[in-house]
A and B are shown apart, each in its own frame.
Chain A
Amino acid sequence: MNFLISGGCKNGKSFYAQRIARDMAQKQNLPLYYLATMIPTDEEDRARIRRHLKEREGWGFDTIEQGLDICGCLGGKTVTGAKVNPKGVFLLDSVTALLSNEMFRADGRIDHDAPQRLAEQLRQFAEITGNTVFVSDYIYSDAFSYESLTEEYKKGLALLDRTLAKACNRVIEVTYGFIKEHK
């Protein structure tokens, strides 16, 4: 089953998503993958990655690093060198980071087509794997408009969320650990 999990920052989304992914893998006896989407650029990022790795210790995740072209990882390998099984269980945390990578390129270029392209890639990813937990962020209730680029990003993320809400079997909002099932 595909899941979309969203909600506010630091509300317990990742923890809940990890549990769903792990339970799904255990029940069906499938490999469990953590899709790490952040592309580290400095020591702060690398420290965050070390912390996240430590937090996931003992959960049984094999990590896949893929910051761009998300479907590309399905023919690749995990950090431990294992071949990725596209029918395994994937935890993709997060859709938000993926859009940043695709939209704000390392060379400083801004890719305005990224939301449309990524929406299609994520739809495909859900269809191919069938067992992915997508984690996104609910950032749509501010009382002011940001400058146009941030607003474009926000609108782009909303397109990804709406696309995934359609493509996923379950849509869940996490509010400070409380679970609301929208679908």
Chain B
Amino acid sequence: MILIFGGAYQGKLDFAKETFSIAESDIYMCQENTDLDMSAKVLCNLEQMVLGCVKENIEAKDILTSYKDEIKDKIIIVNDISQGIVPIDPVMRAWREMVGRTMLYLAKEADEVYRVFCGIGEQIK
């Protein structure tokens, strides 16, 4: 599994497309619900799925571990929301924390981890 993260608008998906030759049809854009399309090669905006989990009161990591085998050959792209102001809204606070827990799990499981900064991807694992 390959994990790619970075702040908003940093060019994460473009980096993934250029580096791993991905077609548009390979990409599943996560929505604000608990669904994951395991037929897609790339799971993009995973933080949106995590927000769906927060609202359903489900731990996102539990869903990911239930796909332990399928996830091994995925590219997962997450917006890093961990470095800003602590949100006033309790749901957003819970979201921020659950994204953190999810990313810790993914980073541990991943074969490769990249951080994208101003369009430049750096391999950190």
Contacts and interface: CB of A to CB of B under 8 A. Distances in A.
A60 B120 CA distance: 33
Contact of B89 (A6, A144, A164, A165): A144
Contact of B84 (A4, A141, A164): A141
Contacts of B70: none
Considering residues B89, B118, B120, which has the most beta carbons from chain A within 10 angstroms of its beta carbon?
B118
Nearest to A183: B120
A164 B117 CA distance: 12
B10 A182 contact: no
Contacts of A139: 84
Interface residues of B, number: 24
B81 A162 contact: no
A162 B119 contact: yes
A173 interface: yes
Given A141-B84, A143-B82, A166 B7 contact: no
Contact of A162 (B11, B82, B89): B11
B19 interface: no
Contacts of A158: 8-10, 118
Contacts of B23: none
B96 A143 contact: yes
Contacts, number: 69
A141 B117 contact: no
A140 interface: yes
A138 interface: yes
Interface in A139-155: 139-144, 154-155
Nearest to B91: A144
A182 B80 CA distance: 18
Contacts of A4: 118
A172 B122 CA distance: 13
Interface in B64-112: 80-85, 87, 89, 92-93, 95-96, 99
A162 B118 CA distance: 5
B119 A141 contact: no
A67 to B, nearest CB: 24
B7 A159 contact: no
Interface string A128-143: 0000000000111111
A33 to B, nearest CB: 24
A142 B93 CA distance: 11
Interface in B1-25: 6-11
A8 interface: yes
A182 B122 contact: yes
Given A158-B10, A171-B117, 14 more contacts: A4-B118, A138-B117, A141-B7, A141-B83, A142-B87, A143-B93, A144-B89, A154-B8, A158-B118, A162-B119, A165-B120, A171-B120, A182-B118, A182-B120
21 contacts: A138-B117, A140-B7, A141-B80, A141-B81, A141-B82, A142-B81, A142-B84, A143-B84, A143-B92, A143-B99, A144-B84, A154-B8, A158-B9, A159-B9, A161-B118, A161-B119, A162-B10, A162-B11, A162-B119, A164-B118, A171-B117
